[in-house]
Structure 1
Amino acid sequence: MKRSFLMVALLAGLGLAGCSAVTSGDGANDDKVQITYARGTDTTGATDILVEAFEKEHPEIDVVVREMPSDTGESHNQYVTMFSGKSPEVDVFDADIVWSAEFGQANYVLPLDRLIERDQVDMDAYFPATVEAGRYNGRQYAMPGYADAGLLYYRTDITDQVPETWDELEQLAQENMGKEGTKFGYLMQAAQYEGIVTNAIEYIYSYGGQVLDANGNVVINSPEAIEGLEKMIDITNSDFVPNNILNFMEIDTESSFNEGNAVYARNWPYLNDTANDPEISKVAGNVGIATLPAGSEGAASSLGGWMRMINRYSDEVEASWTFVKWMSGEEGQKISALEGGKAPTLEALYEDEEITDVSAVLASEDFYDSLQNAIPRPITPIYPEISDIMQIELSKALAGEITAEEAVERMETKMKAALESVTN
């Protein structure tokens, strides 16, 4: 069904620019609007199918796809350059979940609250963390796109025991290490990069700790956060993980698990695909999926994934919103799941058998539960600085250079200073 465009007066009231029609070379108006959608490299072809389906339903809008670098950091820097110069060259773009506060505070992206309210979009239909990740300072700057969440993988040919707690993981990893030629009981990500932050959040929050509270205050120096970090230190320094675990990133976990070296492993949903590919994995057909173990306050999975945002300086806001709303709705997310294997952020889509047939991950109740328990990384306009602080101090703690108490104290001091430098 075609969507009517807002009247100029209404757009002005919202602080939005009106839509302009695409004209042919001789100046004739062909009653079409063109928008540019920027996203990273897509090797699945799902984007083309998505755009084709949208344009069929909305023939008044043409979508031009602009491919951004596959490196997230490079894409981020290009967007910052673009938007700081108030360029309208991109209308809609895919955003990493940690960008919302930064881009919102910098006035790079359009707040969507009035549009959401006007069109009665049910934000409660999405997993809570995917909505929270796009919200900053009381405003919604992004619509949920697709999600990732940390999962526990295990060898079903070795054990059918899934550890419910971190304590049980330690016990089972130790007991089963060595069976079926395994060298390790557990694999994780502990190198000094973003992965150490996502892993740490899962420990800290499972024991009731936090990094920042809902108001952006630094609250990491708490008994709960210390307890979670101490558990992470214990596991990292156990004899059932590799001696070089402090160098492990996702790719190292993936390759080692697929080589048959470990009983249990923490990684993202993508590992299920490679682990069950007999051409590249020695454990294909013997892989189980579960939620991550719980601490004293339950299980927690770090949220990954991407969101959809609208450039504040877009000349085609109404058409851009129509596209974002459609991509984030059931039809758009279903195409992304079926054609691109992307995990939906709409809870109801996990009842769709077409989607759950795509992969064992999407059919897994444990993955659904992981999304329900998902924790966004700290929502702050200076997330890169917060992440760097955490990486440095977490690495020192895991290496035994400082205690968990010292690590959270140092993180607290540095985070507060970093946040104060922004507000002053």
Structure 2
Amino acid sequence: MGIAFSLIGSLAACGGGSDQGAEGDGGQVTITYARGKDQTQTTKKLIEEFEKEHPQMDIRFKEMPSDTGVSHDQYVTMFSGNSDEIDVFDLDVIWSAEFAQAGYLQPLDRFIQKDGIDLDKYVNGAVKAGRYNGKQWTMPKFVDAGLLYYRKDMVDEEDVPKTWEALTEQAEELKGEQGTSFGYVFQGKQYEGLVCNFIELIGAYGGRVLDEQGKVVIDSKGTVEGLRKLREMAQSDYVPGHVTAITEIETDAIYSEGQAVFSRQWPYHYAKMQEDGSDVMGKVGVAALPQGDAGSTAALGGWMTGINKNSKHKKEAWELIKFMNGAKGQKISAVDGGLAPTYLPLYQDEDVKKASPLFENEEFIKGVKSAVPRPVSPEYPKISDIIQVEVSKTIAGEEKPENAVKRMEQKLKKVVEGG
């Protein structure tokens, strides 16, 4: 998601050639905003509109690598060295607690309270993703949530499965019809995408990894039931035999070739299925993920924005966040960039509704509202690794769900609680 390299030069020029963080003639303040690569012109427009409203401020844009892992490591290197090169930066939803614990972020609570920001108007799961140890460290920018896609030419809207049991039944029944080979496809490879599928399944049956206090509570009936359902699907004949090697990329290919009836994917999948060359153009519907005994749960994805603890211009940095992550900025991101807002009132905005069919789709909005963050913990990378290994073994048929859950409980307690 990135901006043209020419933008970096032009924005630097806007700073009048001053050093980062310096105040020039007339009290001008230059701050640096960093985010990953942006293929749209959204970032450029956000900065232009902000500078129009704040003529005393110049924003220098620093483009980070498109690989989120590389960006993460570069941020860690900068911030661990107490660098003030960057003032404002975007974070993956799973980084907030880690960066807060490490001392890289400035708490935002006093800014939020001073300006009367109503966090209840934002996607609850996204707000929670930025909260750690009783403080709000980041503000939600845009959201991703797991969704169920279905073939409209094969399944009527009123017949879209509402439960995981119904999905498995229809997947088995419909596979092979109208040139399909599979009833359902999801991300089963041992990587972060598998964690998302796991969180969704166990959440649907009442399972959780951590409670609100950060205590490990994964060993529960709901977790076992959700993992059992995930394993059942992975071991079935209605999903690809190589499902344990499938990521979002393979999911896109399988579905665009018309090989599957249903798929679990992120919001971008909808537009991709409408591209030239897709065999399912105009044939794809979207719905919230199916329910289990405890309802429907979608894994939260997306990005947040925070302030570098070492920034010399925290007040000005907050003004940029307030604009970008508020109603005006998120509307620009939605209309020009197709990014799903975390500011819920925008789903009633006519311009936003016109920007993407998803933004006026009640099932999509339901999925966004039900999205839950992955475990909010500074130890998340280790938590994810443990879950990936144990869930991967289980869906491959190498381990029983109840045994895998007990082992995850033991390993996670050592990492999270030191027990």
Please, what TM-score do these two structures have when normalized by structure 1?
Answer: 0.92
Give 5+ residue unaligned stretches, structure 2. 1-19
- Give the structure 2 partner of residue 384 of structure 1: 381
- C-alpha deviation, 1:22, in angstroms: 2.4
Q: Which residue of 2 aligns with 1:5?
A: none
Correspondence 1:102-251 to 2 at 5 A: 102-160=98-156, 161-251=159-249
What is the rounded CA distance, in whole Å, between the counterparts of 1:21 and 1:85 in structure 2? Answer: 20
The size of the alignment, in residue pairs, is 398
Instruction: Identify unmatched segments of 5+ residues in structure 1.
Output: 1-18, 24-28
RMSD: 1.1
How far apart, CA to CA, are the structure 2 residues paired with 1:162 and 1:420? 42
1:107 is displaced (CA, Å) by 0.8
Q: How far off is 1:420 after superposition?
A: 3.7
Query: Where does residue 252 of structure 2 map in the other structure?
Result: 254
Matches within 5 A, 1:335-414: 335-414=332-411
Contact map agreement 2:109 2:135 (CA 8 A) in 1: yes
How far apart are the structure 1 equivalents of 2:98 and 2:346?
30
Question: Do 2:131 and 2:137's aligned partners in 1 also have CA atoms closer than 8 Å?
Answer: yes
Asked whether the 8 Å contact 2:215–2:417 carries over to 1, the reply is no
TM-superposed deviation, 1:127: 1.2
* 2:69 aligned residue: 73
Give the SS at the match of 1:116: helix
> In structure 2, what is the Cα distance between the partners aligned to 1:373 and 1:338?
23
- Contact in 2 for aligned 1:21/1:30 (Cα 8 Å): no
Q: Distance in 2 between matches of 1:380 and 1:370?
A: 23
8 Å contact from structure 1 (residues 108, 311) kept in 2: yes
CA contact (8 A) 1:274 1:280 kept: no
Residue type matched to 1:325 in 2?
K
Aligned-partner Cα distance in 1 for 2:416–2:165: 35
Q: CA deviation at 1:280?
A: 2.7
The structural deviation recorded for 1:21 is: 5.2
Which residue does 2:23 correspond to in 1? 22
Deviation at 1:20, TM superposition (A): 6.4
The equivalent residue for 1:331 is 328
Per-residue CA shift, 1:142-193, capped at 9, x if unaligned? 0110000000001111121210000000111111111110000000001000
Which of 48, 55, 70 does residue 52 from structure 1 map onto? 48
CA distance in 1, matches of 2:22, 2:27: 5
Deviations 1:331-353 (A, max 9, x none): 00000111111100011000011
Rounded Cα–Cα distance in structure 2 between residues aligned with 1:123 and 1:188: 32
Q: Secondary structure at the match of 1:79?
A: helix
- For 2:353 and 2:247, the matched residues in 1 are separated by 28
TM-score normalised by length of structure 2: 0.94
Q: Which residue number in structure 1 is paired with residue 13 of structure 2?
A: none
Aligned partner of residue 355 in structure 2, secondary structure: coil
Identity %: 51
The answer (yes or no) to whether the contact 1:125–1:348 under 8 Å persists in 2 is yes
| Aligned residue type for 2:151 | R
